[in-house]
């Protein structure tokens, strides 16, 4: 039986459909919150859309950060196991793509595999790049976040906000940059990868490595934009792809 209090702590509903075809669960980027998908969720009238709220930020800021992607995913999968009768689609951006992949493995092992996983803005899970962003000085770290598009430059002028947003961003970067999946780790769940054509964090070749993470269907699409392409006004292609994937999966099962 689902513990409603624990579920609502982790999983936040962002939009509802009168007769939902599926439940779309979105995993935030490093330092992000469930509400980072609020505008994106408004593009779906036929799904219930949820955002995952990681510990250590906003209303969960007093909770400890998790020490690894695997630990974070295990906690989330526990909340998602058996929580709905609707078909479930997972979508994650950047670090969220890794969390989504780990959650997909756990749900599949429990016999509750999602319809598909959408992995955005992230290199393949078996590819560990030599990145040490989480070890940078405070100013250098913040400068990189602004350049990447993860925060507005005006926030650099507000020390109070920096003190709030910096710790979860650094903690998330630490576990994301230390993560590397086993080459044997794969799912049967279809994986659809979407990246921006000027994303400094992932090339098309690096994204193509996701193909080895699934024994099922695979696709790779490149959109105009950077690391946060679908929040930069270029999200229609991703929204359409999610819709198309669900419709195809449901028609196959019918």
Q: Which of 94, 116, 181, 245 is catalytic?
A: 94
Q: Is residue 195 within a helix (H) or strand (E), and if so which, with residue range? A: strand 191-196
pLDDT of 139: 79
What pTM was estimated for this model as a whole? 0.93
211-233 core/surface letters (b: 16 or more CB in 10 A; e: else): ebbbeeeeebebbebbbbbbbee
| Model pLDDT, residue 121 | 95
Q: How buried is 198 (Cβ within 10 angstroms: 0-12 exposed, 13-18 middle, 19+ buried)?
A: exposed
Cβ-Cβ contacts under 8 Å for 136 (sequence gap 6 or more): 144
Gap between the Cα atoms of 20 and 45, Å rounded? 8
The shares of helix, strand and coil residues in the chain, as percent rounded to the nearest 5, are: 45, 15, 40
Does domain 4-126+183-253 fall under CATH 3.40.50.1820? My reply is yes
Q: Residue 94 catalytic? A: yes
- pLDDT truncated to tens, each residue of the chain (254 aa)? 568 888 999 999 999 999 999 999 999 999 899 999 999 999 999 999 999 999 999 999 999 999 999 999 999 999 999 899 999 999 999 999 999 999 999 999 999 999 999 999 999 999 977 777 777 888 787 887 777 775 555 666 677 878 888 889 899 999 999 999 999 999 999 999 999 999 998 999 999 999 999 999 999 999 999 988 887 777 889 999 999 999 988 888 75
């Amino acid at each position: 039986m689902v513990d409603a209090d624990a579920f609502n702590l982790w999983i936040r509903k962002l939009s509802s459909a009168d007769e939902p075809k599926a439940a779309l669960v979105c995993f935030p980027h490093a330092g992000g919150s469930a509400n980072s998908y609020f505008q994106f969720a408004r593009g779906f009238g036929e799904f219930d859309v949820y955002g995952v709220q990681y510990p250590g930020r906003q209303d969960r800021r007093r909770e400890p950060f998790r020490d690894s992607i695997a630990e974070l995913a295990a906690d989330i999968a526990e909340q998602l196991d058996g929580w709905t009768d609707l078909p479930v689609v997972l979508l994650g951006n950047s670090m969220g793509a890794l969390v989504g992949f780990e959650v997909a493995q756990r749900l599949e092992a429990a016999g509750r595999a999602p319809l598909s996983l959408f992995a955005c803005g992230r290199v393949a899970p078996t590819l560990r790049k030599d990145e040490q962003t989480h070890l940078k000085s405070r100013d250098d770290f913040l400068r990189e976040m602004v350049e990447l598009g993860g925060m507005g430059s005006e926030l650099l002028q507000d020390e109070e906000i920096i003190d709030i947003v910096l710790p979860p961003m650094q903690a998330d970067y630490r576990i994301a940059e230390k993560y590397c999946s086993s080459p044997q780790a794969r799912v049967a769940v279809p994986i659809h990868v979407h990246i921006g054509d000027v994303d400094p964090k992932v090339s098309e070749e690096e994204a193509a490595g996701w193909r080895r993470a699934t024994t099922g269907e695979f696709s790779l699409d490149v959109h105009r934009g950077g690391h946060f392409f679908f929040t930069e006004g270029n999200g229609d292609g991703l929204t359409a792809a999610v819709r198309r994937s669900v419709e195809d999966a449901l028609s196959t099962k019918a």
